């Protein structure tokens, strides 16, 4: 692959070049504007139409605008300026939508953080992004996020301000509700002009394969390309639709599909903060939800929960699936429950959002045998073979993306950006795949060393790095083993110190309390070995370890 110049800056012209940008605009792939401009449009046209609900709070478009703009004014009072980064670690609550639109309106850069992340991951995101303010909550799912952020302020010198939603505040902290309160709505004289759609707008962190998460930098134009395109070309959304979003809105799928897709057409979104399949079905029925996007294992859990009596979910017409193939048997079972619905595969990543997907009109065979064709007009998918040339139909190679939805690069990491963006402007996805003569792609494997647990990536290298700091561990490798419910789970293959016999509980307790990593990354199976199998060049033979993990206890 041809490496990109590591000195380039995170600008649209530096990333795409003037000629491509001219084409993006001429073809309507980049339309400019802003998230707040869309909010203004719907708040003026349909002020009382519900925009976001979460089972506790329901807000119409006008109320979201009013609260977001008052919050934006408060952030400006705190010294947040255009281009500054604001971290938001909130569950799937209405406050997340208000926070995103407040940050977007004043031209600051949103840095969402998933609620499953703990001290170690959050500290990296805060320090790498240089976030000057953060919005979080108190106790959620038995974990105190406020206390974590209080401790992090000592480690993150650029973090000056902390806002708390649905939690108690101390001196020097701000209540989210108070920050949004008031009788007036500030305008451009206070909030300033709408931001440049080619400036950094969002930094979403993805673990990938390396030991530290990378910050994917999107502009409004690159993000809106995916959100608007999915709304019109894939979901075929109308203002009457209700998006159901149980995937975290603090990550790529949830943010784009849960917020930007409905915002693109003035529709509604309903957020679920804790995925429980029976409750998910009940919410779909109660709110008349019509579409969603989740990892594939969510579908299996929903179908299992629906055995016997269940709520009427006939309103659901579209379920987009990512992270694992859709077996034909699952698609048929889905059609038996969601009688008006379509189960459709998508392949993407935080770096490009939507790469490939199937579309309404594709056959069941296409749906179950491929991950779709290029998702949106303007997306080019290329399979690069081992020799660096384009692979022919049916030949395996690395999947590459070129188009208007790609990131500018990784925040403050030009070398890592250059490692995946080549001289042709293609983003190398790190995944293996094949394309047929019609352009339908099937993802066949990974160049990246990751475990995909329920659609969420776990970096094997990251967890290994933490494991080997345990005093009873000499060496460790982390590999996937298959799981019917979640697709994959993580197993730790450990070489113990002389005389030691660490248990799974010993290691996971250490990782949770001492290394303070997110719970979903904890190994769920342990195999003790005398030595890790190695190649002649000293690389761990993980294919052999995967066999061990399948039979491990």
Question: Residues 522-537: what's their mean pLDDT?
Answer: 87
Q: Which two tokens stand for residue 126?
A: 């805060």
CA distances from 488 to 154, 451, 477 (A): 37, 7, 16
Q: Is 160 exposed, middle or buried (0-12, 13-18, 19+ CB in 10 A)?
A: middle
> In this model, does residue 67 exceed pLDDT 70?
yes
- Contact (CB, 8 A) for 117 and 134: no
Question: Residues 329-340: what's their mean pLDDT?
Answer: 90
From CA 274, how far away is CA 245, in angstroms rounded? Answer: 10
The pLDDT value given to residue 2: 37
Q: Give 76-82 contacts, CB < 8 A, sequence gap 24+.
A: 76/106, 76/190, 76/191, 78/133, 78/160, 78/161, 78/174, 79/132, 79/160, 79/161, 80/106, 80/108, 80/132, 80/133, 80/161, 81/108, 82/106, 82/107, 82/108, 82/192, 82/195, 82/199
Region class of 425: left (phi > 0), else alpha (psi between -120 and 50), else beta = left
Which stretch of DSSP H or E encloses residue 302? helix 296-305
DSSP for 397-445, please give it.
EEEEEESTT--SEETT-HHHHHHHBBTTSPEEEEEEEEE-TT--EEEEE
CA distances from 271 to 52, 167, 252, 254, 340 (A): 7, 19, 15, 9, 22
Q: Which two tokens stand for residue 58?
A: 């329901």
Does the domain spanning 31-220 belong to CATH 3.40.50.980? yes
The pLDDT value given to residue 117: 94
Q: Which two tokens stand for residue 430?
A: 């790190």
What's the gap between Cα 482 and its chain centre?
Answer: 22
What are the sequence ranges of the domains in the chain? 31-220, 450-551
The pLDDT value given to residue 536: 58
Question: Residues 411-421: what's their mean pLDDT?
Answer: 95
Burial per residue of 282-296, b for 16 or more beta-carbon CB atoms within 10 angstroms, e otherwise:
bbbbebbbbbbbbbb
Contacts of 389 (CB under 8 A, 6+ apart): none
pTM (two decimals): 0.88
From CA 431, how far away is CA 243, in angstroms rounded? Answer: 29
Q: pLDDT per residue over 177-225, tens digit each?
A: 999 999 999 999 999 999 999 999 999 998 654 567 899 999 999 999 9
The pLDDT value given to residue 7: 43
Q: Which two tokens stand for residue 464?
A: 């290994």
Q: pLDDT per residue over 214-261, tens digit each?
A: 999 999 999 999 999 999 999 999 999 999 999 999 999 999 999 999
Fold annotation for 450-551: GMP Synthetase; Chain A, domain 3 (3.30.300)
pLDDT band at 538 (very low <50, low <70, confident <90, very high): low
Q: pLDDT per residue over 436-487, tens digit each?
A: 999 999 998 777 788 989 988 898 888 998 999 999 998 899 999 999 899 9
SS3 347: strand
Q: pLDDT per residue over 267-301, tens digit each?
A: 999 999 999 999 999 999 999 999 999 988 899 99
The pLDDT value given to residue 330: 87
The pLDDT value given to residue 289: 98
The pLDDT value given to residue 3: 43
> In this model, does residue 535 exceed pLDDT 80?
no
From CA 35, how far away is CA 441, in angstroms rounded? Answer: 32
Contacts of 410 (CB under 8 A, 6+ apart): 214, 215, 216, 217, 416, 417
From CA 53, how far away is CA 71, in angstroms rounded? Answer: 19
From CA 160, how far away is CA 142, in angstroms rounded? Answer: 26
What's the chain's length in residues?
Answer: 553
The pLDDT value given to residue 457: 85
Longest dimension (CA), the chain: 72
From CA 451, how far away is CA 11, in angstroms rounded? Answer: 32
CA distances from 457 to 221, 299, 351, 436, 451 (A): 26, 18, 14, 27, 6
Q: Which two tokens stand for residue 499?
A: 């005389």
The pLDDT value given to residue 91: 98
Residue matched to tokens 């309160």: 181
The pLDDT value given to residue 104: 98
> In this model, does residue 5 exceed pLDDT 90?
no
Residue with more model confidence, 148 or 498: 148
The pLDDT value given to residue 212: 79
What's the first-to-final CA gap in the chain, in angstroms? 42
Region class of 426: left (phi > 0), else alpha (psi between -120 and 50), else beta = beta
Neighbours of 354 (CB within 10 A): 31
- E-assigned strand segments in 1-107: 50-53, 58-60, 85-88
> In this model, does residue 58 exceed pLDDT 70?
yes
Supply the mean pLDDT for the chain.
93
Q: Which two tokens stand for residue 267?
A: 């529709």
């Amino acid at each position: 692959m041809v490496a990109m110049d590591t000195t380039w800056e995170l600008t649209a012209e530096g990333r795409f070049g003037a000629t491509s940008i001219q084409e993006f605009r001429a073809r309507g792939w980049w339309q400019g504007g802003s998230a707040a401009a869309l909010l203004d449009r719907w708040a003026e046209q349909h002020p009382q139409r519900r925009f976001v609900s979460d089972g506790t709070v329901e807000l119409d478009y006008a109320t979201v605008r009013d609260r977001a703009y008052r919050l934006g004014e408060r952030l400006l009072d705190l010294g947040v300026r255009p281009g500054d980064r604001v971290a938001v670690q909130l569950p799937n609550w209405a406050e997340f939508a208000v926070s995103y639109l407040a940050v977007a309106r004043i031209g600051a850069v949103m840095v969402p953080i998933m609620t499953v992340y703990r001290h170690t991951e959050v500290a990296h995101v805060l320090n790498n992004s240089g976030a000057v303010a953060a919005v979080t909550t108190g106790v959620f799912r038995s974990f105190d996020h406020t206390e974590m952020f209080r401790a992090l302020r000592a480690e993150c010198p650029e973090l000056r301000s902390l806002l708390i939603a649905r939690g108690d505040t101390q001196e020097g902290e701000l209540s989210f509700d108070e920050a949004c309160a008031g009788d007036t709505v500030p305008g451009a004289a206070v909030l300033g002009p709408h931001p440049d759609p080619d400036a950094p707008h969002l930094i979403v962190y993805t673990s990938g394969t390396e030991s530290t998460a990378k910050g994917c930098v999107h502009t409004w134009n690159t993000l809106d390309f995916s959100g608007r395109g999915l709304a019109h070309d894939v979901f075929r959304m109308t203002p009457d639709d209700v998006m159901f979003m149980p995937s975290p809105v603090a990550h790529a799928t949830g943010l784009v599909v849960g917020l930007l897709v409905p915002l693109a057409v003035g529709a509604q979104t309903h957020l679920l903060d804790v995925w429980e399949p029976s409750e998910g079905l009940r919410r779909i029925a109660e709110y008349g939800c019509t579409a969603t996007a989740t990892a594939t294992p969510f579908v299996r859990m929903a179908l299992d929960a629906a055995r016997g009596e269940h709520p009427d979910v006939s309103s659901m017409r579209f379920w987009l699936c990512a992270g694992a193939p859709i077996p034909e048997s699952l698609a048929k079972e889905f059609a038996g429950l969601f009688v008006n619905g379509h189960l459709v595969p998508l392949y993407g990543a935080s770096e490009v959002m939507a790469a490939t997907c199937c579309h309404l009109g594709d056959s069941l065979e296409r749906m179950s045998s491929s991950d779709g064709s290029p998702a949106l007009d303007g997306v080019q998918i290329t399979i690069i073979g081992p020799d660096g040339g384009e692979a022919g139909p049916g030949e395996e190679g690395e999947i590459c993306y070129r188009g208007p939805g790609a990131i500018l690069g990784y925040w403050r990491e030009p070398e890592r950006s250059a490692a995946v963006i080549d001289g042709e402007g293609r983003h190398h996805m790190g995944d293996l795949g094949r394309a047929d003569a019609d352009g339908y792609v099937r993802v066949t494997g990974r160049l990246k060393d990751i475990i995909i647990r329920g659609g969420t990536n776990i970096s094997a290298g990251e967890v290994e790095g933490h494991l080997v700091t345990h005093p009873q561990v000499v060496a460790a490798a982390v590999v996937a083993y298959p799981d019917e419910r979640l697709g994959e789970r993580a197993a730790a293959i450990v070489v113990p110190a002389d005389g030691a016999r660490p248990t799974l509980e010993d290691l996971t307790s250490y990782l949770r309390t001492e290394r303070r990593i997110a719970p979903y990354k904890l190994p769920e199976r342990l195999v003790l070995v005398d030595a890790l199998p190695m190649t002649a060049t000293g690389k761990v033979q993980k294919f052999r370890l995967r066999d061990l993990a399948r039979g491990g206890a």
